[in-house]
Structure 1
Amino acid sequence: MAVPGCGAGAPAPAACECRPTAAAGPSQSVAAQDAPSLVFRVLSVVREATVTLEPVDRIEVQVLIDNVTDSLSSVPGTVTLEWPALMKAGMNEMAGSCQCCANHGLSLVINAYRANVRHTVLFDAGPVEFAVEYNGLRLGIDFGAIEAVVLSHGHWDHAGGLPKALDLIGKSRKGVPVPCYLHPGMFRQRALPLPGGRLLPIRKIAAPEELAARGAAPIATTKPQILLDRMFYLSGEIPRVTPYEKGFPGHMQRGEDGETWEPDPLIIDERFLAVLVRQKGVVVFTACSHAGVVNVLRHARTCFPEARLHAVMGGLHLAGGNEKIIAETVRDLDEFGLSLVVPAHCTGWRAVNALVSKFGDEAVVPSAVGRIFSI
């Protein structure tokens, strides 16, 4: 069934484990176009293997879920706003029922292209099942093209929509499970402190067994992974080396006994996803940056020493209690020489303003639901 007024053809709703070494060539740092491949030693659970992360020609990133909707602000020519994206998907009348909805969370559909080959990853799935289907229908997302799912960490605003996303993906896979990359530490009950000492539980994410029942092939590991014809790199656990990035103070989790509570400020299950784009460099996707975005990028630089860091996209977690580290964060981001910063989700307006003031509005382009970023 189509959304009324939105196009009859719309679909129905429904510590670093890697030690990279450069390929043969000059020893100095080189741009991505001068380094056709980077070789990584990835220590898996059962054996050690040498694999290669290959550059792609380009990527397109569509924002399926984000905190913000904005189809009016001007953007560079490499960014498509929500309304043109909706029209491309079949919208033929401007109406509220045709627009996407904003939610506190993040979900990105990442398409990577090399010659005539395309691979697609779903990076997180937002907070609720409703938003995945609602926005996916309006944007014309081809869920059947998704070949892998990466869950960045175990919080509801990134995992709540995952069961529905798996349902939508599974409709086109004819019973073939989709690989779903997880961290084994993301499934404990978590909580936040309230005034007076009481804890407010954080909704648990779906267990691997439930995800498998919805069409996933769960892959739970703490180690780095290379995905889909060596187009995508999923990090291992992110080292915490920046003194002012202290994680999520007050965050708690159940102990191994399932009864007691213990501090969990580091949220060590969080990981980043990266793609090496030819002639540009590494694009880093960080969903919430509980590790701290400077820690994330320093780790990415360690894992990719022969390629420059081109862009970072995602939640930078500089709102609320982390507003006090905006100045230090913006200062230290300058060391990476990024060409593009796409703040999303939990970054906060104060941090976005500080980033634009420092780097300019050509380099800093905020995310919003429905936008397509071509890199």
Structure 2
Amino acid sequence: MMFLLRVLCLLSALISISHAQAPDHQVKRLKVTILSTMLADEGLGEWGFAALVEADGCQVLIDTGARPETVLSNARDLKIDLSSVRDVVITHFHPDHTGGLMTLRTEMKKQNPAALAQAHGATGIFYSRPMPGGAEGNPMIAIRPQYQASGGSFVEHAGPFELVPGVWLTGPIARKFPERNWGGSGKVRTPAGLVEDTVPDDQSVVVNTVDGLVVITGCGHAGIVNILTAVDSQFAHRPVQAVIGGLHLYSAKDEQVDWTGDRMKAFGVRYLMGAHCTGIESLYRLRARLGLTRQTAVVGAVGAYFTSTEGIHPGLVAQ
């Protein structure tokens, strides 16, 4: 049965590549499992992010962690088989989200040549980030030829795209609000010239479920309010059931966190699993601002997961 679901998933993905689809398909069964972040009940914690999306039998990997072996090791500890996953989303170019890509592709390819063979980034993911002294600050520039040599292919997205039925990429996010959730010191070489690096390639994943929208971010450099604003427009104001991933609020002032929480609440957020760069204290402040509880807003940990029918299973360390 699972094999049949995966075949149907691949066929649906091929159809979506050749035909733009309206966001009408709603996922009935969703599970999102964190595979890389700082906290861990078992396995390895690190400053990085990765998560596996399982939606009605289809699977998508979001990011690949920082160290080459972390996600591979954690998946094995959690008895998760990544060899059946074809699509991997790279939310943005930073090394704490891209460090495991080649290790995962190399290892999973031994079991399935199509494993993790399709990588999805947003426009700008291969822009040069010149560093002082002339070094290149974008690891994806070096990773791309290695990945292609392994038989993998990259797709750059300039806008929303349905990866598999009900699972969408946002593509680049318009910066309506000045959230400025990035370092602020880097430069990026764009077609318009060398400018401040606002991480223009930052994108998120949205799962359109029967219970509402589930938004998964890598770092949320575009700003979670900007992300939710774009998602709200694309999906005709459907309520947001859950936000999962990094929100880059670890160093934010209380006023910014409060502003963020108030606007997240307006989108109907019922669950929050803030991982990676969200910040533990910022997560707790968001929890209070959103009116959520220890059961509905937690710090994400390796092995923690969310299902659209049961909510958050936080593991032990995050309770």
Structures share a fold, TM > 0.5?
yes
Normalising by the smaller structure, the TM-score range is: 0.7 to 0.9
**2:168 corresponds to which of 223, 229, 233:** 233
After TM superposition, the structure 1 = structure 2 runs for residues 6-17 of structure 1, keeping only pairs within 5 Å, are none
Q: Which amino acid aligns with 1:62?
A: T
Aligned CA distance change for structure 1 residues 203 and 218 (closer, same or farther; 3 Å):
closer
Q: Please report how far the alpha carbon of residue 48 of structure 1 lies from its aligned counterpart in structure 2 after TM superposition.
A: 8.0
Shift in Å, 1:177: 6.9
One-letter identity of the residue aligned with 2:181: G
* Distance across 2 between alignment mates of 1:60 and 1:176: 20
CA RMSD of aligned residues (A): 2.7
1:371 to 261, 282, 304: 304
Matched, 1:127 2:61: no
* Residues 132 and 164, structure 1, Cα contact 8 Å, conserved in 2: no
Question: Identity of aligned pairs, percent?
Answer: 27
Larger Rg: 1
Alignment of 1:213-252 (within 5 A): 213-228=149-164, 230-243=165-178, 245-252=179-186
Amino acid corresponding to residue 43 of structure 2 in structure 1: C
Which amino acid in structure 1 is aligned with residue 217 of structure 2?
T
Distance in 2 between residues matched to 1:361 and 1:199, nearest whole Å: 47
Gap regions ≥5 residues in structure 2: 1-16, 309-319
Residues 304-346 of structure 1: CA deviation (Å, up to 9, x unaligned)? 1152211111101101256651121122222111111111100
Matching residue of 1:25: none
C-alpha deviation, 1:108, in angstroms:
0.3
User: Conserved in 1, the CA contact under 8 Å of 2:47 and 2:66?
Assistant: yes
> Matches of residues 69-88 of structure 1 in structure 2 within 5 Å?
69=40, 71=41
The alignment status of 1:275 with 2:207, answered yes or no, reads yes
Higher relative contact order (CA 8 A, sep 6+): 1
Q: How far did residue 255 of structure 1 move?
A: 2.6
Deviation readout 1:135-172 (Å, 9 max, x if unpaired): 12211221112121110011101011111121233223
Question: Structure 1, residues 64-105: CA drift from partner, whole Å, max 9, x if none?
Answer: 111112x4xxxxxxxxxxxxxxxxxxxxxxxxxxx3010101
The residue type paired with residue 294 of structure 1 is V
Aligned residues of 1:59 and 1:112 also touching (Cα < 8 A):
yes
Alignment of 1:248-263 (within 5 A): 248-255=182-189, 262-263=195-196
Q: Cα gap change, 1:180/1:200 in structure 2, threshold over 3 Å: closer, same or farther?
A: closer
CA distance in 1, matches of 2:95, 2:116: 22
For the 8 Å contact 1:179–1:216, the answer to whether it is kept is yes
Q: After alignment, is 365-374 or 101-110 more displaced?
A: 365-374
Alignment of 1:1-375 (within 5 A): 49-69=20-40, 71=41, 99-113=42-56, 118-174=57-113, 178-190=117-129, 202=137, 204-205=139-140, 206-228=142-164, 230-243=165-178, 245-255=179-189, 262-264=195-197, 266-278=198-210, 280-321=211-252, 325-358=256-289, 359=291, 360-375=293-308
Count of equivalent residues: 289
Asked whether the 8 Å contact 1:314–1:344 carries over to 2, the reply is: yes
What letter corresponds to residue 218 of structure 1 in structure 2? F
Deviation at 1:352, TM superposition (A): 1.2
Say if 1:138 and 1:333 are closer, same or farther in 2 by CA, change over 3 A: same
AA matched with 1:250? G
Cα 1:144–1:371 shift into 2, 3 Å:
same
Deviations 1:112-154 (A, max 9, x none): 11xxxx0000000011112122212211221112121110011
Distance in 1 between residues matched to 2:39 and 2:50, nearest whole Å: 12
For residues 165-199 of structure 1, what are the alpha-carbon distances to aligned partners after superposition, in whole Å with 9 as ceiling and x for unaligned?
21233223236772211224122343789xxxx99
Offset at residue 49 of structure 1 (A) = 4.0
Instruction: Give the Å deviation of 1:374.
Output: 1.8
In 2, are the aligned partners of 1:106 and 1:126 still within 8 Å (CA)?
A: yes
One-letter code aligned to 1:365:
V
Partner AA of 2:53 in structure 1: I
Matched-pair contact (CA < 8 Å) for 1:119–1:147? no
